[in-house]
Structure 1
Amino acid sequence: MNHGSFDKHKLIPEPLPSGLIPTLNKMGYMTQFIDEYSQKFIDDAKYADAPVLEIGAAYGIATLQALSNGARVVSNDLDEQHLKILGQICPKELLHNLILLPGKFPDDINIDDNSIYSILMCRVVHFFTPVEIKQAFKKAFNILAPGGKIYIIADTPYQKNWSKFLATYEQKKRSGEKFPGFIVNSDDFITDLAFNLPKMFNFMDTEVLLRELTEVGFLIEKLEYINRLNYPETVRLDGRESVGAIAVKS
């Protein structure tokens, strides 16, 4: 889910020794640092002349920073309790610019086309099935205003605690599978942090993300692997732990 730097609050679960904060719905963890792609979304929010959208906000740390930059923020999460916590920890002077929008993106979300300035999807895409990814990117493209950008950060299989999956992933790539990172049996592969993760994963890489974004019409501004220096030692592998993308609606 999303990540950021914030003062500890008793409403938010205590971090694990690794520094990761479990989500309430067992859909992964929130980290306590801002990656460069999320930071670009936050920085760009200063110039927004329409609302920005965070999809899968968890406890809303990026949302809070975008609000502090003067943006109107639509904060979405699958778990309504996460958003209730966000509403409680949001400074009162910023609440008038915060819209809480619970539900599963894209099916449960009703937003007008061409109405959103920018979108952040941080560590969310790898929880979508192949069909859901296509639907989500199409919806994102439609609701963005012309020239609007989507910022995406997703996990890859290049993580130490998923090393048992790498051979399977590479074989799927060689055989031409379009989503070689898609699995429904994560317990067979993961060696750490499994207790707060779902069975289904759809790990991204640069090729899959490039194809899926361009297929719906996005132009790629930046796309590369992210070296997760702040990830726990049990997760860090070779500097390709995540993939980031910035794409533009032309």
Structure 2
Amino acid sequence: EASSQGGNDMSRTKMPKEHVKGWIPTMNAHGFMATKLDPYSKAWVARAAEATAPVADVGAAYGVATLKALAKGARVTAVDMEAKHLDILRQRVKDEEQSSRLTTVVGALPDKLTLPQETFEAILVSRVLHFLEPNEVQEAVKQLASWLKRGGRLYLVVETPYIRMLQPFIRTYEARRSAGAKWPGIIADFRRYLNPAERCHAPPRLNVMDPEVLHRICYEAGLDIEECGFIDRQDYDPSIRLDGREGAGIIAYKR
């Protein structure tokens, strides 16, 4: 992976426009960046504001969370698999002092990213893990735990099956879960649930989760659970919202 610190001199890459209200497409067919922070991401920002060590935003996209943490005085390592996202993020940091506290790293969980061990006080991974296969999720969470300082917190946010376009899949999800499947949310043909305009922004497979799955993977990685639950995404467009369980989040900490 590549990293850079400070500076703001790259050629201008433009951020795409909102696809639907509150969702900006990514440039690598990995869905969208939500323009408003969920409660777990807000909790990461609050922690970042008080942190004495660096914090990390893995899957930062165009920086909706990173920018707020920088504004609160945090030292942030922003990671994304798409260099153009990080170029745009740097352009959005107008303040030189804030820019000096931002490090950007091009990389991807789990095997294309190496960060220093026991370094970060808080790590946010928002709306990333559902793009990974089960073994990759498990490996990624163990890696993330290794990068946390003792007492550091991991903030994970994922998509659940309880979004409007996945309504036809919910029965399958719940049947798999009732049958004891550890990963009930594997969708091998995700694009079939999307309209044609959305398909180009989405990967072919998805691995949606719920709080129970998040709890298990963090526990298996040796982390203690502080908070875990569904997220009512009232900020989502009505075409996406369903019943107040659109997201799932967890805060886990390292003893």
- C-alpha separation between the residues in 1 aligned to 2:24 and 2:187? 24
Structure 1 residue 28 corresponds to structure 2 residue 70: no
Structure 2 counterpart of 1:217: 222
Residue 38 of structure 1 deviates from its aligned partner by 0.8
Identify if the C-alpha distance between structure 1 residues 191 and 166 changes in structure 2 by more than 3 Å, giving closer, same or farther: farther
1:10 Cα deviation from its structure 2 partner: 8.0
1:117 equivalent in alignment to 2:121: yes
Is structure 2 residue 245 aligned with structure 1 residue 234?
no
Unpaired runs of 5+ residues, structure 1, are 1-8
Tell me by how many angstroms 1:216 deviates. Answer: 0.8
Name 1:82's counterpart in structure 2: 85
- Pair 1:199 & 2:215 matched: no
Q: State the match for 1:131 in structure 2.
A: 135
Partner of 2:200: helix, strand, or coil?
A: helix
Match of 2:52, SS? coil
The amino acid across from 2:235 in the alignment is N
Aligned identity (percent) is 38
Superposition TM-score, scaled by structure 1 size:
0.92
Q: Distance in 2 between matches of 1:22 and 1:144?
A: 30
* Residue of structure 2 in register with 1:154 after alignment: 158
**Quick check: 1:164–1:190 contact (8 Å CA) kept in 2?**
no
Give the Cα separation in 2 of the matches to 1:166 and 1:152.
22
- Superposed CA RMSD: 1.6
Partner SS, residue 85 of structure 2 = helix
SS of the residue corresponding to residue 244 of structure 1 reads strand
Higher mean alpha-carbon deviation, 131-140 vs 102-111, is at: 102-111
Return closer, same or farther for 1:156/1:17 CA change in 2, 3 Å cut-off: closer
- Whether the 8 Å contact between 2:13 and 2:87 is mirrored in structure 1 is no
Contact 1:162 1:191 in 2 (8 A): no
- Residues 102-138 of structure 1: per-residue CA shift (max 9 Å, x gap): 0112322222211111100111111111011001100
Q: Provide the C-alpha distance between the structure 2 equivalents of 1:189 and 1:40, rounded to a whole number of angstroms.
A: 32
Report if the CA contact (8 A) 2:56-2:124 is conserved.
yes
1:51 and 2:54 are equivalent in the alignment? yes
Gaps (5+ residues) in structure 2?
A: 1-11
Offset at 1:83?
Answer: 0.6
Q: How far off is 1:195 after superposition?
A: 3.4
Distance in 2, Cα, partners of 1:222 & 1:209? 11
Q: Secondary structure at the match of 2:30?
A: coil
Q: CA deviation at 1:68?
A: 1.1
State the Cα distance separating 1:164 from its structure 2 match: 1.2
Is 1:176–2:180 an aligned residue pair?
yes
Q: 3, 19, 22: which is aligned to 1:19?
A: 22
For the structure 1 residues 106 and 17, does the alpha-carbon distance in structure 2 shift closer, same or farther, using more than 3 Å as the test?
A: closer
The 8 Å contact of residues 141 and 218 in structure 1, kept in 2 or not, is answered as yes
TM-score normalized with structure 2 length: 0.90
Deviation at 1:198, TM superposition (A): 0.6
- Spell out, residue by residue over 1:207-226, the C-alpha distance to the aligned partner (whole angstroms, 9 max, x if none): 11111110111111100101
* Residues 77-123 of structure 1, C-alpha deviations (whole Å, 9 max, x = no match): 01011011111221222111111100112322222211111100111
Task: Give the partner amino acid of 2:252.
Answer: A
SS of the residue corresponding to residue 229 of structure 2 reads strand
Post-superposition Cα deviations, 1:156-209, rounded to whole Å, max 9, x if no partner, equal 001111111112212211222110001221123345843311111000111111
- How far apart, in 2, do the equivalents of 1:219 and 1:17 lie? 37
